[in-house]
Structure 1
Amino acid sequence: MSDYPAYRTPWTTSHRHLGSDLRVRTYPAQGPSRGTILAIHGFRGDHHGLDLLVRHLPGYTIVVPDLPGFGDSTAFTTARHDAATYATVIEALRTDLGLPDTATLLGHSFGSIVAAQYAAAHPGAFAHLVLVNPICEPALEGRQAVFSRLAAGYYAAGRMLPGPLGLAVLRSRLVVDIMSTAMGTSGDPATQAYVVDQHRRYFSGFANRAILQEAFASSIRDTVRDVAPAIRTPTLLVVGELDDLGSVPGQYSLAALFAQANIEVLAGVGHLIHYERPGTTARLVDAFLAAEPAG
């Protein structure tokens, strides 16, 4: 992926929240910072999943935690791993890091649910909200209902099987590759190879089987739609035309629920906007933040 902007070296900090040793990467802006973005990754991912978007936004200071139980962050010891509890991580980091109320909150996929739940409960804490591939309809009701039920059975089986066997099922390279192929829409072999490599490297970085099933259950039960009417923060929705986890009509219906929302539909892309169209997404984010000055 040599045609992408250069990698930005972050600094890493550790924070304690509900028993989790929470690891956070902060990518400093190149030159004077145009603002701060706190970015929340999706299900089974970690901070690596947002790397291309970070690279395409060099003018911003970007903070990316590994959600508890994923990547380098340990699991909660006193709470369930669901969108509502993950939203409390945002408040803990906002306080610990002293993030200003001029900052932007961004979430991708499952991270869009987490970010939206926080924004609904904490009006004014962030100046802008950006949701990439937002989850606009329950997975058990939409076009992916059958697949979602099969996936729920897969995660349940992985949790119930004897330890080594259960982990082998959940970390199966074959299953991870099937996920990558099913979600990918890019016809570019280099991009598809990058997606497969990223998922092979980081999709199995979960702390244990229980947290994986808990987080998945939340990802197919909860939606941004549940809380959108309570959100007053200016919001940008970046939507994939071919996203099986959120139809275009469903995304327009979601946008109408917000007090202030812009929607951008990217043609020819599905649920992997952050991998397949990071440059376009970054330009949309930059334009949105410039048009909606903080405060």
Structure 2
Amino acid sequence: MTNAQPTLTVQTLGVPTRVWQHGPDDGETIIFVHGFRGDHHGLAGIAEELSRQQPGVRILVPDLPGFGQTPAVPGRTHDIALYGEWLCAFAREVAPEKFAILGHSFGTLVVTAALQAGLDPVRAILINPISAPALEGPQAVLTQLAIGYYRVADWLPETPARALLGNGLIVRGMTEVMAKTRDRELRRWIQGQHAAYFSSFSDAKTLLDAFRASVSHTVLEATAVYTMPTLIIAGKRDDITPLAKQLELHRRIAGSTLRVIPDSGHLVHYEAVQDTVAYVIWHLTGQGDTFEHHDVTAHAGE
């Protein structure tokens, strides 16, 4: 989907952040922040379709530190504070004046941490935000198993830990739980994406740090930082965060808009690219700004 090599390399916290750019250098900027264990490929479909429909927008999709082609930050624990600090530094380098921000899943935690650290986007988009503690989702038992899996990896030396964390059968199982599409071809494609890129982490320690961060925080902890127009896109069948918690997040972010995609779960960025892009454009162009907070809930079932 994206080019084999990054478009840009941006020095951030002492490491070269690899970035894939879509659109012109002088376009209005939106920064994409991908989810846990993934890299820029996860948001490539949305980036490419958004660029096709809005060719004047500059879309930047970096690999997070320790994932894809961006190295881990040396000597640092890759906790949520580190990722928030990284995003603030990255945004200062690539868009010092004005930008919008989009995060998916773990990326929504990174965006929230960055906002707490002073990030100031003009608009925010949260796709499948982490709005519930890890053990309160619809698949709490599977979450317990995942925690045990990562704990075992934490006890192992690097080589066997990496082998366990990248085990193809386990990655396939994760995909089967999250994917909700009935389209067999699309499901096979998602499986292929996860097989190719779900284990492109730099080292086991960094992945384990990021996992601990992903299950230790929620966006609900800091809703007050969302003072800019905010769009929430949720899959109705999300096994990570139940819809009730996304509705709570929507209520707690004043003036936010919630869009729910009925037949998708946590992989909206793969399963519902067209709907997602339509909602993103609607938000970026300010079409929803005239809605009052109590009115936008009506869109949640569309």
Identify whether the pair has TM-score above 0.5, normalized to the shorter chain: yes
Residue 57 in 1 paired to residue 37 in 2?
no
Partner SS, residue 205 of structure 1: coil
What residue number does 1:78 align with?
Answer: 75
Indicate which of 74, 84, 87 corresponds to 1:87: 84
Tell me which stretches of 4 or more aligned residues in structure 1 moved more than 4 Å: 6-11
Q: Deviations over 1:96-153 (max 9, x none)?
A: 123432x210000000111122224426x21100000011111123333322222112
Query: 2 CA distance for matches of 1:239 and 1:267?
Result: 9
- Which residue does 2:112 correspond to in 1? 116
Q: Find 1:40's aligned residue among 33, 37, 40.
A: 33
State the SS of the aligned residue for 1:45: coil
Residue 167 of structure 1 pairs with residue 162 of structure 2: yes
Whether the aligned pair in 1 keeps the contact of 2:2 and 2:41 (CA below 8 Å) is no
1:251 aligns with 2:246: yes
Q: Please say if residues 134 and 239 of structure 1, whose CA atoms lie closer than 8 Å, have aligned partners that are also in contact.
A: yes
Q: For the residues of structure 1 that align with 2:114 and 2:195, how far apart are their CA atoms? A: 30
Matched to 1:94, the amino acid is A
Give the match for residue 195 of structure 1: 190
Contact 2:124 2:228 in 1 (8 A): yes
Give the distance between the partners of 1:75 and 1:284, measured in 2 at CA: 33
Kindly indicate whether the alpha-carbon contact (under 8 Å) linking 1:8 and 1:27 is maintained by their aligned counterparts in 2. no
Report % sequence identity: 34
Equivalent AA in structure 2 for residue 168 of structure 1: A
Shift in Å, 1:11: 5.2
CA distance, structure 1, for counterparts of residue 169 and residue 33 of structure 2: 27
Alpha-carbon contact 1:155-1:212 (below 8 Å) kept: no
Letter in 1 for 2:113: Q
Which whole-Å CA distance do the structure 1 matches of 2:146 and 2:110 have between them?
21
Whole-angstrom distance in 2 between the partners of 1:194 and 1:126:
33
Please say if 1:186 is aligned against 2:181: yes
Q: Distance between the aligned counterparts of 1:19 and 1:11, measured in 2?
A: 18
Q: Mapping of 1:236-275 within 5 angstroms?
A: 236-275=231-270
Give, in whole Å, the separation in 2 of the partners of 1:256 and 1:82. 28
Structure having the higher helix fraction is: 2
**Ranges in structure 1 where 5+ consecutive residues have no aligned partner:** 1-5
TM-score by length of 1: 0.90
| Equivalent AA in structure 1 for residue 218 of structure 2 | T
- The answer to whether the 8 A contact 1:148-1:220 is kept is no
Structure 2 residue aligned with 1:290: 285
Q: State how far apart, in whole Å, the 2-side matches of 1:99 and 1:219 are.
A: 28
* 3-state SS of 1:218 partner: helix
**Is the CA contact (8 Å cut-off) linking 1:143 and 1:244 kept in structure 2?**
yes
Q: Distance in 1 between matches of 2:222 and 2:78?
A: 19
Which amino acid counterpart does residue 105 of structure 2 have in structure 1?
S
Unaligned runs of 5+ in 2: 290-302
TM-score with structure 2 length normalisation?
Answer: 0.88
- Tell me the distance in 1 between the aligned counterparts of 2:94 and 2:265: 34
2:144 maps to 1:149: yes
- 1:95-106 alignment, distance < 5 Å: 95-101=92-98, 103-106=99-102
3-state SS of 1:227 partner: helix
Indicate conservation of the 8 Å contact 1:18/1:78, yes or no.
no
Q: How many positions carry a matched residue from both structures?
A: 285
Alpha-carbon distance, 1:185 to partner: 0.3
Report the RMSD for the aligned CA atoms in angstroms.
Answer: 2.1
